[in-house]
Chains A and B, each alone.
Chain A
Amino acid sequence: MSSSLPPTHLAIALDGTGWHPGSWLQPHSRAAEVFSGAYWTDLAREAERGLIDFVTIEDSLTVQGASPLDPTPVPGQGRLRGRLDASLLASFAATRTEHIGLVPTITTTHTEPFHVSKNLATLDHVSNGRAGWRVQVSGRPGEAEHFGRRTIPGSFDPNSSPEEKSARVGELFDEATEVVEVVRQLWDSWEHDAEIRDAATGRFIDRDKLHYVDFEGDFFSVRGPSITPRPPQGQPVVTSLGHATVPYELAARGADVLFVTPHDDADADWILAEVRDAEARVRTAETPLLVFADLEVVLDTPGSSGAERLAALGEAAGDEFASDALIFTGSAPELAALIGRWRGRGYAGFRLRPAEHAVDLPAITSELVPLLQEAGVFRTAYDQPTLRDRLGLPVATNRYATAS
């Protein structure tokens, strides 16, 4: 498995008590604590114990649906429903961890880009350079009704025609592209050495090192500069999840990391080719996108196999687990083998979605990580202080910086 390829990256996707809807019903799920800081701190620390690059924290502006594939909210009291704000959870967890990257989900659809930019810049200050952002659009009519500012027809409604669907999705992603762009411009709107504290002249800042972004897009305008000084990473790491060409292009335009969902080897090749095509069309950044494969993970345990666990989880939940991503069941060595294979096909990393946090997360850190380390494909220590550095992203240059 070892080779001249760069080591692989690992991320953990955190959501509720785990990605399987039946996970809260299992022993040790800590379901009653899922709205407490201690619960999330423990998850982040467990991932940090495994030297994981970063955790993502899921969020949305509506209650959870029947499954990740069908996010339509279901009535009833039997499902884990409800969320804390992911960005604030990340800032809270930053004070209780030292190394791990923290990547909250924030929507681009109903938020103010100015708020998003300073929120994430602050997470980066609070965590000393460990902040990222999972960009997400909010395409559901119900979410729009929570804000009452605009109507979004049923863009993901299975009954709408493919043309309608694609036009609406396209618009949401065009808007998201603008949000990512203006957020990045606001991060650049302060040069890193703008604060001079020059007692001799009485100037706290050199105002020539602050810049109006004067962004005028199709969806909004923002004047700038940011109120929050340049974040330690310059540009926190921007990530997004995509299943099709339009989201691939969003990522190619503005993201550093793209999560995709291949289901087998052929799929893995095909998706990667699609992504590289999208990059060739629209990417202006010099560095290629880091493409991570998302995997639902149900690992074997001493008591029962992953397949048996998946069946038991399904029974608890009352229906079969539908996922956009491959549901991996099996042993840690088998998962390590899959990771090795797809790494060889060009995947820079893997975002693992534990079916049950309480079981699959410690299995990843205690079993999978040591196997990957032994194979020489995963780090044995945190040796880079910032998330950008750890992911091998270049130093973020400031578009406004004056050559001195």
Chain B
Amino acid sequence: MPKQVILGAHFPGVNNTTVWSDPRSGSHIEFESFRRFAQTAERGRFDFLFLAEGLALREQRGHIHDLDVVGRPDTLPVLAALAGVTEHLGLVGTINATFNEPYELARQFATLDLLSQGRAGWNVVTSSDAFTGRNFRRGGYLPREHRYARAESQVTANRHLWDSWDQDAVVADRESGQFRTGRDGDFAYTSHFFDIHGTFNTPRPTQGHPVIFQAGDSDDGREFAARTADAIFTGHGSGDDGRAFYRDIKGRLARYGRDPEDLKILPAATFIVGSTDEEARRISDTVRRQQVSGQTAQLILERIWNRDLSGFDPDGPLPDIEPESHPGALVQGRVQHVKDPAAEVARLRQLAADKNLSLREVAIEISARQNFVGSPETIADTLIESVETGVSDGYILVPHITPGGLDDFVDHVVPILTQRGALRSEYAAGSTLRDNLALGGARSATAWEAGSAAGLAELAGHELAGHDLAGHDVTERRASA
């Protein structure tokens, strides 16, 4: 029996993966699209649906980006609505740890978990972005180096709030006149970022704690995930790169008293299903050209060059100018992935020379790679092999069509996965997202903190002080501030 392949379905959002010009492409805003997408994923017995979040519209060259899908509904209300039209599917939402407060978030995730009877998940992301911050009361106040510290403190605070009610505290016993038992929701939590106390007013989530996802690839991000998360949403999805990432993350867990199975590694993946491998490759070529128009190609390369490339012919050679090494205000509201523009440009020039590629073809090459392309058998085999050989614990699939993009996968690949024992044939009765991901029960906030502190002490050569990044050593920080 092969290992179970964990499957998430990412509702495609605001990037050039989505081919909105395809006649089959529907609304990205209307609830009907979300309902159809979620119900297809549930028909395919996926573990969860995954939603991204945006807090500011993207800008490039000083204008609102207009070539891809722009705009989206708010994450948590959509997930709450989906809880009303699904029964088993996990509901995972990206919510920024920077521009939210624990009391509110803990209530909202507890509500989502109770409404869905244990299917909520939170993908914790961070931002130190003053551009995004301009939409919020405090603006871009958070120094970049503190973003994971606040995120960890945010998650810890949420866990304390969720712990403040006992499980099954609501008894509503009319005979005795007792509505609740156990603790009264009292909480107190202090860190460098939060100083909060009082009484929490929402019952403990069905799962104890919703499943915590983390996305982010820096060393800080990986360590934060090892200390704090139940699952990682990553871009490291294939081959040796994936295996190296997988080993790296799983290797960080022991330090915090955790087993390798306690943290699931789930890369984002795109796919093209054809009736044969050959047909899938043909479709894939077409889709890649649809995803990267000439204008889109210019914008993709501008994010590397940090310069306006609108004067260069997309069907001509790569720009013969050098990149601006310090990112300016050209691109706003988008994660910057390129750390060394000069090296990256040199690599692209080599790629263009080797394969005789135009500007647009280079952009296609670097941005529109499909992870799984082939017949249903080929895709099922590759998925199973990836999980068996330690590339990942499963995948979060991002189709290029909304909302029907999962149909081929669910109709043709899922039956093979099920037949081969790599995917459940039905959801276990009453199972939660935590159950479906084989995560075990929720650890208490205090246990997480103890594990985190022990691991940090080990990292720092048994000196706790100085690890203000985790927001633990509050007194010293304040004293030195």
Query: Residues of A with Cβ closer than 8 Å to B?
Result: 24-27, 29, 31-32, 34-37, 41, 60-64, 73, 75, 77-85, 87-89, 91-96, 110-115, 118-119, 121-123, 125-126, 128, 142-143, 145-149, 190, 195, 197, 199, 202-207, 210, 219-229
Contact = CB atoms under 8 A, between A and B. Distances in A.
Q: Which residue among A81, A93, A228 has the maximum number of chain B CB atoms within 10 Å of its CB?
A: A81
* Chain B interface main SS type: loop
Nearest to A197: B20
A127 to B, nearest CB: 8
Interface in B367-418: none
Contacts of B83: 37, 92
B68 interface: yes
Contact of A122 (B66, B74, B203): B74
Contacts of B144: none
B99 A204 contact: no
Contacts of B63: 207
B277 to A, nearest CB: 30
A76 to B, nearest CB: 9
Nearest to B64: A207
A204 B112 contact: no
B93 to A, nearest CB: 11
Contact of B30 (A110, A113, A118, A125): A125
Contact of A222 (B21, B69, B135, B201): B135
A199 B290 CA distance: 11
B202 A122 contact: no
Given A35-B170, A62-B199, A204 B20 contact: yes
Contacts of A148: 194-197
A23 B111 CA distance: 23
| 9 cross-chain pairs, A with B, having the tightest CB-CB distances, nearest first | A95-B84, A31-B172, A223-B134, A88-B80, A32-B172, A122-B74, A91-B77, A85-B111, A122-B73
Contacts of A27: 174
B199 A89 contact: no
A99 to B, nearest CB: 16
Nearest to B83: A92
A20 B473 CA distance: 47
6 contacts: A31-B172, A78-B179, A81-B180, A114-B136, A148-B194, A199-B21
Contacts of A224: 135
Interface stretch (B52-60, B301-309, B340-348): B52-60
B71 A89 contact: no
B141 to A, nearest CB: 12
Contact of B55 (A94, A126, A221, A227): A227
Nearest to A149: B101
B100 interface: yes
B177 interface: yes
B134 to A, nearest CB: 4
Contacts of A222: 134-136
A93 B178 CA distance: 28
Given A112-B137, A220-B137, A85 B108 contact: yes
Nearest to A186: B135
Contacts of B41: none
B334 interface: no
Contacts of B446: none
A63 B180 contact: no
B261 to A, nearest CB: 31
Nearest to B296: A202
Contacts of A95: 31, 35, 81-82, 84-85
A89 B202 CA distance: 13
A93 B104 contact: no
B103 A32 contact: no
Interface string B277-305: 00000000000000001011000000000
Interface residues of B, number: 72
A82 B181 CA distance: 13
A79 B179 contact: yes
A126 B84 CA distance: 11
B78 interface: yes
Interface string B181-211: 1001100000000111111011100000000
A229 B198 contact: no
A202 B67 contact: yes
A377 B57 CA distance: 47
A205 B70 contact: yes
A114 B136 CA distance: 7
Nearest to A62: B201
Contact of B199 (A77, A118, A142, A149): A142
Given A63-B185, A110-B104, A83 B137 contact: no
Interface in B424-449: none
Given A93-B84, A122-B73, 13 more contacts: A78-B178, A81-B185, A82-B170, A82-B203, A84-B111, A94-B81, A119-B76, A119-B77, A125-B29, A125-B73, A126-B73, A205-B66, A205-B71
B114 interface: yes
B171 interface: yes
Nearest to B182: A77
A371 B68 CA distance: 55
Nearest to B195: A148
B108 A203 contact: no
Given A77-B181, A96-B84, A145-B196, A89 B66 contact: no
B179 A145 contact: no
Contacts of B82: 95
Contacts of B467: none
Contact of A112 (B99, B111, B170, B194): B99
A21 to B, nearest CB: 10
B166 to A, nearest CB: 11
Contacts of B56: 223, 227
B260 to A, nearest CB: 34
Contacts of A80: 172, 179
B57 A225 contact: yes
Q: Which residue among B64, B178, B197 has the maximum number of chain A CB atoms within 10 Å of its CB?
A: B64
Contacts of B199: 62-63, 73, 142
B71 A190 contact: yes
Nearest to B95: A115
Contacts of A41: 84
B72 interface: yes
B89 to A, nearest CB: 14
A29 B172 CA distance: 10
